[in-house]
Amino acid sequence: MKTKFTMFRRGAMFYMQDSATGKQTSLRTKDEAEASSLLNARNAAQQQPTLNLHLARAYLTASDPAFVERTWQTVMQQLQSRGKDTSRERYASVFKSPSFDGLRNKKLLETTTDDFFAVFKDGKVSIVYFLKRLHNFALSLGWIAIPIVAPYLWPKYEAKDRRGITQDEHQSVLQQEKNAEWKLYLELLWETGAAQSDAVNFKAEDVDWQTRTISYFRQKTGSLAQFTVSKKLETVLSHLPTTGVLFPKLSTFSQSDRASRFRRRCQRAGVSGVTLHSYRYAWAERAKVVGMPERFAQAALGHNSKAIHRAYAKKAIIIAPSLEEYEAKAAQQKLVAA
């Protein structure tokens, strides 16, 4: 059998050459005996891949008996058992996708780059995103020795253009909603900009009527959000329970169920390109347009980073007044003061 690699010397260093492609690679040694050993090892690896796999299994089984039998389903179960309830729910939902079926029962030791490329063909951003999390989680646990897919080979993620729901769209969706609790829920999202999971778990005890404020800790980040109860929000709250959870029925729905219902109402109303999270974008955009100081908007939305808030409010359109207007106002103030 013709060997795949041949050896030659260039100067003092030894190299090997692929007989099929002609590619030349340094053996990184000047010692002929060592170079021959390296070359023989590379040729043996090419001629006996099956034997190499059996040998690897033998060595690995000695150190970790479960190593050779561990499948990607095991990694999925480990990953979705960690984190907060919302994260667990999301992992469980995503990993049920048929896109993972080809990988699910595949043993980690037998997985190749082609197995991952087959999942990439699905094309969905969310699938690739969670596949990468799964891959990196297995790597961090030491269940795979080296990356199966090099970082630069992963598909590039391009974030979708997000926007807030407009007031007209909000009213159109409300007209399609017949359930009273759902209507109040959407009104509360419009007035507070809270994330859908945070808002649905609001309790009457979160409202301090003496100071007319609502305070809560965000489920996603744990950061504190606080804002003043407006007159419109007071009207919404007056129709909700005075003790316990404000939305008793809605709080029993899963996040995906609420999202699906909202999507159906939007379709009936002829509204597209928005989700329940668009109420959060809308609140930030409205706050920026009317000139609310950023620190107040951050406090209301429960953000610790200015960069995050700016990302939410990037769609807000503000037309700066002319300098002449400001100079005229300044001159008028001087006259009044005189």
8 Å CB contact between 163 and 284: no
Alpha carbon distances (Å) from 279 to 194, 210, 282, 284, 296: 8, 27, 5, 9, 18
Q: What is the CA radius of gyration of the chain?
A: 30
pLDDT of residue 323: 67
Cα(278)–Cα(153) distance, integer angstroms: 32
Beta bridge partners of 214: 207, 227
pLDDT of residue 92: 86
How far, rounded to the nearest angstrom, does the alpha carbon of residue 306 sit from its chain's CA centroid? Answer: 19
Q: What are phi and psi of 314, to 5 degrees?
A: -65, -20
CATH 3.90.1150.10 fits 167-312, yes or no: no
pLDDT of residue 311: 60
What three-state secondary structure class fits 68? helix
Cα(178)–Cα(161) distance, integer angstroms: 30
Angle at 263 between CA 222 and CA 82, to 5 degrees: 35
pLDDT of residue 167: 93
Spell out the domain ranges in the chain: 1-47, 68-153, 167-312
| pTM (2 d.p.) | 0.62
Query: pLDDT (tens digit, 9 = 90+) per residue, 137-176?
Result: 998 888 887 888 888 888 887 666 778 899 999 999 999 8
Low-confidence stretches of the chain (pLDDT < 50) are: 307
pLDDT of residue 246: 95
Alpha carbon distances (Å) from 154 to 90, 102, 115, 150, 253: 22, 18, 13, 7, 35
Q: Would you put residue 291 in left (φ > 0), alpha (ψ -120 to 50) or beta?
A: left
pLDDT of residue 108: 86
